[in-house]
Amino acid sequence: MKTILTIAFLTMTNVFYGQVDTRIYDIVDKVSAEKLEYYIQNLVDFGTRNTFSETESDTRGIGAARRWIKGEFETISSSCNDCLDVFFQGETVTPEDGNRIPKAAEVLNVVAVQKGKKYPNSYVIMSGDIDSRASDTQDFTTDAPGANDNATGMAGAMEAARVLSQYEFDHSIVYVGLSGEEQGLYGGQFLAKYAKENDWNIIGIINNDMIGNIEGVDGVIDNRTFRIFSEAHNPTETDRERQMKRFYGGEVDGASRQLARYVYETTKTYMPEMNPMMIYRLDRFGRGGHHKPFNDLGFPGIRIMEAHENYTQQHQDVRVEDGVAYGDVIEHVNFNYVKKLTAVNAINMANLAWAPPAPTEVEIGGIVEPSVRLKWKQQNPEDVKGYKVYWRSTTSPTWDHFRYVENTNEITLEGIVIDNFFFGISSVGKNGHESVVVFPSGILR
Ligand SMILES: [Zn+2]
């Protein structure tokens, strides 16, 4: 009798830790380096994918590239009973729109939506870029293979679609090739605007830009480390919200940062051989990426990227100068590394899309008390098994401590002083999957 009880107890504890779903390991294994190479080679073979390049040809230029990507998404969809809704989305840009636009052109994203079964209007997005550039970003005729920047990110989104479309999810997943990146993040702006207009509830966008180079310009070789860039707080926050941070904290706890922590933790759990590096900034120093236009509208979003860049192999005409071979050619792409970072994306999207919606209206109190109180609300509580109430030292980057609770929407943590830690809450589904952690936005008196 005692043995039976012990077994039952172990089974139950395993469920709510959310770390034992073997489907996640299957997803890691299914991502194929060969398939990624196939996608990248095909993209490179279009010669240039500059935003202003040829659109009539079937073999060269941005038009041929985006039609081919759309066709590949449609092929993937035909293997999952048409589970993907594939379409072009975008707008026309003209020279008046910016200083890197030599002529009018259609900036078209290729979007593939896998609708969620329970929360179809709630979206996890993975993006790469279709376009490439030569040394001069307005030069639309010179070859610009853009193998690493950013055929790798584009290929990753296609490969994630191929693998994840074999499963059904509660939330929707969007796989997208964005355009006009090198001209000023236009494709991202257009899709973010479209999402806003269509009232998409975006859990987060995971933008992939350069996920294939393992040898840095300084000679460092590393095929396990990658960077997760995230902005500290929501740029749409009000003055009052900013003022509140001075008194209640939250300087490093915006929604994009919570998404970054989520990706860090999921990777450490399911792919412990990898070294994710959280970088506490929007993007690299003075440089941009396609998650920014989403952040601009208040959507959580991060950038996934290689750890060691090689500047002679990005934004360069293919040439040899003073004995240095310049150019973003496919020979420098490490397909196994692209596979690893694609798997990082895929397992995070699967976890998020299987998890319940995150708690809302999280409130915290405990001023001049030896305990902390938290209270929260939950959409669709019937899908939730319990909650993880997290805390961490104010200087720690990760949620290091938690207490698990069930059948309640409030908790008092006795003996824990509010002043010395930061707190947050996630929802844990009946299937064990966990939402992102939500930082309190209200005060309990
Ligand atoms: Zn670039």
- Output the CA 51–ligand 1 centroid distance in Å: 12
Cis amide linkage into residue 150, ω under 30° from 0 = yes
- Output the CA 271–ligand 1 centroid distance in Å: 28
Amino acid identity of 149? D
Burial class (CB in 10 A: 0-12, 13-18, 19+), 125: buried
Q: Which of 304, 327, 354 is the last residue of a domain?
A: 354
- Output the CA 149–ligand 1 centroid distance in Å: 5
- Output the CA 287–ligand 1 centroid distance in Å: 9
Residues 342 and 161 sit within 8 Å (Cβ to Cβ) = no
In a domain, 160, yes or no: yes
Helix (H) or strand (E) holding 194: helix 186-197
Residues 349 and 374 in one domain: no
- Output the CA 206–ligand 1 centroid distance in Å: 17
- Output the CA 312–ligand 1 centroid distance in Å: 12
In a domain, 7, yes or no: no
- Does residue 442 sit in helix, strand or coil? strand
Residues 184 and 287 in one domain: yes
Residues 57 and 115 in one domain: yes
Beta-carbon-side half-sphere exposure of residue 19 (alpha carbons within 13 Å): 12
**Distance between CA atoms of residues 54 and 371, nearest Å:** 65
In a domain, 2, yes or no: no
Greatest CA span in the chain, whole angstroms?
A: 79
Structure-token pair, residue 245? 């941070």
- Output the CA 308–ligand 1 centroid distance in Å: 15
In a domain, 249, yes or no: yes
3-state SS of the chain: helix, strand, coil percent to 5? Answer: 35, 25, 40
Check which CATH number belongs to the domain holding 388 and give it. 2.60.40.10
DSSP state string for 305-356: EESS--GGGSS--SEEETTEEES--GGG--HHHHHHHHHHHHHHHHHHHHSP
Residues 368 and 330 in one domain: no
Structure-token pair, residue 213? 């180079």
- Output the CA 181–ligand 1 centroid distance in Å: 7
Residues 168 and 268 in one domain: yes
- Output the CA 314–ligand 1 centroid distance in Å: 7
pLDDT, one tens digit per residue, over 205-264 is 999 999 999 999 999 999 999 999 999 989 999 999 999 999 999 999 999 999 999 999
Residues 198 and 301 sit within 8 Å (Cβ to Cβ) = no
- Output the CA 129–ligand 1 centroid distance in Å: 9
Residues 223 and 282 in one domain: yes
- Output the CA 134–ligand 1 centroid distance in Å: 10
Strand ordering across the sheet containing 384-393: 401-405, 384-393, 421-429
Residue linked to tokens 């089974």: 11
In a domain, 5, yes or no: no
Residue 190 in this model has a pLDDT that exceeds 60: yes
Q: Which of 317, 335, 354 is the last residue of a domain?
A: 354
- Output the CA 210–ligand 1 centroid distance in Å: 8
Sign of CA dihedral 74, 57, 108, 332: positive
Residue 180 in this model has a pLDDT that exceeds 50: yes
Residues 129 and 209 sit within 8 Å (Cβ to Cβ) = yes
Q: Kindly state the average pLDDT of the residues 380-397.
A: 97
**Distance between CA atoms of residues 163 and 270, nearest Å:** 17
Check which CATH number belongs to the domain holding 332 and give it. 3.40.630.10
In a domain, 14, yes or no: no
pLDDT, one tens digit per residue, over 269-307 is 999 999 999 999 999 999 999 999 999 999 999 999 999
**Distance between CA atoms of residues 76 and 82, nearest Å:** 8
pLDDT, one tens digit per residue, over 226-243 is 999 999 989 999 999 999
Number of H-type helices and E-type strands within the chain: 10, 17
pLDDT, one tens digit per residue, over 103-114 is 999 999 999 999
pLDDT of residue 276: 98
- Does residue 400 sit in helix, strand or coil? coil
- Output the CA 153–ligand 1 centroid distance in Å: 11
Q: Kindly state the average pLDDT of the residues 316-343.
A: 97
**Distance between CA atoms of residues 156 and 80, nearest Å:** 19
Residues 190 and 142 in one domain: yes
Q: Which of 396, 405, 398, 397 is nearest to 426 (CA)?
A: 405
- Output the CA 184–ligand 1 centroid distance in Å: 10
Residues 258 and 378 in one domain: no
Residue 16 in this model has a pLDDT that exceeds 80: no
Q: Calculate the alpha carbon distances from 366 to 215, 359, 376, 378 in Å.
A: 50, 20, 15, 22
Residues 54 and 162 in one domain: yes
Residues 194 and 225 in one domain: yes
- Output the CA 254–ligand 1 centroid distance in Å: 26
In a domain, 293, yes or no: yes
Q: Which of 304, 331, 354 is the last residue of a domain?
A: 354
- Output the CA 60–ligand 1 centroid distance in Å: 19
Which residues make Cβ contacts (< 8 Å) with residue 38, sequence separation at least 6? none
- Output the CA 284–ligand 1 centroid distance in Å: 12
Sign of CA dihedral 340, 188, 181, 65: positive
**Distance between CA atoms of residues 426 and 43, nearest Å:** 39
Structurally, how many domains does the chain consist of?
2
DSSP state string for 366-425: -TTSSEEEEEEE-SSGGGEEEEEEEEEETT-SS--EEEEE-S-SEEEEET--GGGEEEEE
Residues 435 and 352 sit within 8 Å (Cβ to Cβ) = yes
- Output the CA 147–ligand 1 centroid distance in Å: 11
Residues 212 and 345 in one domain: yes
- Output the CA 159–ligand 1 centroid distance in Å: 21
Q: Calculate the alpha carbon distances from 418 to 220, 248, 372, 414, 422 in Å.
A: 43, 10, 6, 10, 8
Could you tell me what percent of the chain has a pLDDT over 70?
Answer: 96
**Distance between CA atoms of residues 192 and 401, nearest Å:** 35
Residue 7 in this model has a pLDDT that exceeds 70: no
- Output the CA 199–ligand 1 centroid distance in Å: 30
Residues 112 and 236 in one domain: yes
In a domain, 11, yes or no: no
Residue 374 in this model has a pLDDT that exceeds 80: yes
Residues 403 and 326 sit within 8 Å (Cβ to Cβ) = no
Q: Which domain holds residue 255?
A: 19-354
